[in-house]
């Protein structure tokens, strides 16, 4: 089968489109999906650069997000059948550890992601547990393959961050960094669905204009404006209830300075660096909650697919590339030019 692989760690230059052995025939409880489109995430850039302890052998098929048609089902699978159009949840859990038994699949002790610890979605075929696929809901207009591929990782991540972890309430104010990114755009959509007021940031005024059209209440340019000062001015010195972080080092201090007393900071990423500092006296004095979050559990995934069906969580696609141009797709993501998801069409 054709696939986009890393031939070694060392960045985007190590990407290649090549023929690899087909994804294995599905075993009991598994399905094999003929991929139509795969969406990129910042994770794919980290994997290309070489995350310690993840990719164990090369060539390694990249891509966490994907959508396609069920090609074969393994013994015992009744939830889907060949020909079904499906979304893929990229987080693979063992469904047996104490956290899985408690319904917290993204806390699984054996949690693995497609394209990181396992062969990814940028291939003509991928084999995954049947737990990890959901039928693509019917929408008007119908979801494109690119939209379907763009849905799972960022929507699940943002949903758990805001709804489960930060427990965002109607009337609250949320600060969302870097609105070009997929998690941030999904967070904006989810914040507005919950009746919150959304302040979003970017270094790019065109992206801020687009964010206003997508429902952002206030837009701030972090290149030209001091975010915490602006937030204090907008909120009568109070600060925001919730901050959605995924940048890490570059935005951390400003995130804390923007947070109200008793506020919640929820983080799912560290795209500008993982090490930050924290003055514990400010943490306890202000009663802050600092919340980590990764992906989401099966119930949350079911819920976001239900919301997608209701037309509430349609993903935003930035640009679609043919598979032969996967490297250009990675380069667009690496330069941070996108507003929404960068997608690769695997077959059409
Ligand atoms: Zn588990």
What separation in Å is there between the alpha carbon of 318 and the centre of ligand 1?
A: 34
pTM: 0.97
The pLDDT score that the predictor gives to residue 54 is 74
CA 213 and chain centroid, separation: 22
What separation in Å is there between the alpha carbon of 108 and the centre of ligand 1?
A: 4
For residues 35 and 346, the answer to whether their CB atoms sit within 8 Å is: yes
The pLDDT score that the predictor gives to residue 347 is 82
CA distances from 347 to 25, 37, 99, 314 (A): 20, 7, 37, 22
What separation in Å is there between the alpha carbon of 346 and the centre of ligand 1?
A: 31
- What are the per-10-residue average pLDDT scores of the chain (348 residues)? 94 96 98 98 94 82 98 98 98 98 98 96 98 97 98 98 98 97 97 98 97 98 98 98 96 98 97 96 98 98 98 97 96 95 91
What separation in Å is there between the alpha carbon of 67 and the centre of ligand 1?
A: 24
The pLDDT score that the predictor gives to residue 145 is 98
Q: Is 331 exposed, middle or buried (0-12, 13-18, 19+ CB in 10 A)?
A: middle
What separation in Å is there between the alpha carbon of 283 and the centre of ligand 1?
A: 32
The pLDDT score that the predictor gives to residue 348 is 61
């Amino acid at each position: 089968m054709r696939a986009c692989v890393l031939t070694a760690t060392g960045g985007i230059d190590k990407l290649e489109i090549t023929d690899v052995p087909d994804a294995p025939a599905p075993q009991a409880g598994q399905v094999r999906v003929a991929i139509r489109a795969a969406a990129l995430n910042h994770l794919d850039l980290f994997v290309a650069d070489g995350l310690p302890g993840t990719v164990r052998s090369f060539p390694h098929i990249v891509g966490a997000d994907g959508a396609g048609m069920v090609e074969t089902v393994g013994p015992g699978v009744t939830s889907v059948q060949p020909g079904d159009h499906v979304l893929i949840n990229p987080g693979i859990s063992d469904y047996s550890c104490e956290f899985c038994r408690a319904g917290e699949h993204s806390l699984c002790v054996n949690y693995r992601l497609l394209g990181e610890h396992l062969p990814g979605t940028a291939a003509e075929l991928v084999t995954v547990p049947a737990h990890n696929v959901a039928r693509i809901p019917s929408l008007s207009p119908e979801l494109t393959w690119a939209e379907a591929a763009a849905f799972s990782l960022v929507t699940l991540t943002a949903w758990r961050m805001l709804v489960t972890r930060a427990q965002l309430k109607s009337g609250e104010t949320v600060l969302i960094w870097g609105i070009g990114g997929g998690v941030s755009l999904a967070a904006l959509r989810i914040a507005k669905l919950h009746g919150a007021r959304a302040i979003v940031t970017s270094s790019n005024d065109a992206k801020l204009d687009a964010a206003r059209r997508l429902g952002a209440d206030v837009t701030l340019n972090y290149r030209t404006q001091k975010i915490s000062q602006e937030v204090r001015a907008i909120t009568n010195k109070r600060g925001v209830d919730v901050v959605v972080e995924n940048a890490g080092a570059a935005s951390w201090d400003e995130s804390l300075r923007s947070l109200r007393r008793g506020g919640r900071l929820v983080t799912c990423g560290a795209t500008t660096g993982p090490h930050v500092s924290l003055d514990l006296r400010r943490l306890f004095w202000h009663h802050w909650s600092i919340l980590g979050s990764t992906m989401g559990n099966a119930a949350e995934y079911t819920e976001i697919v239900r919301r997608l069906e209701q037309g509430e969580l349609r993903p935003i696609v930035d640009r679609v590339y043919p598979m032969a141009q996967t490297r250009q797709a990675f380069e667009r993501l690496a330069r941070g030019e996108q507003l929404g998801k960068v997608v690769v069409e695997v077959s059409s």
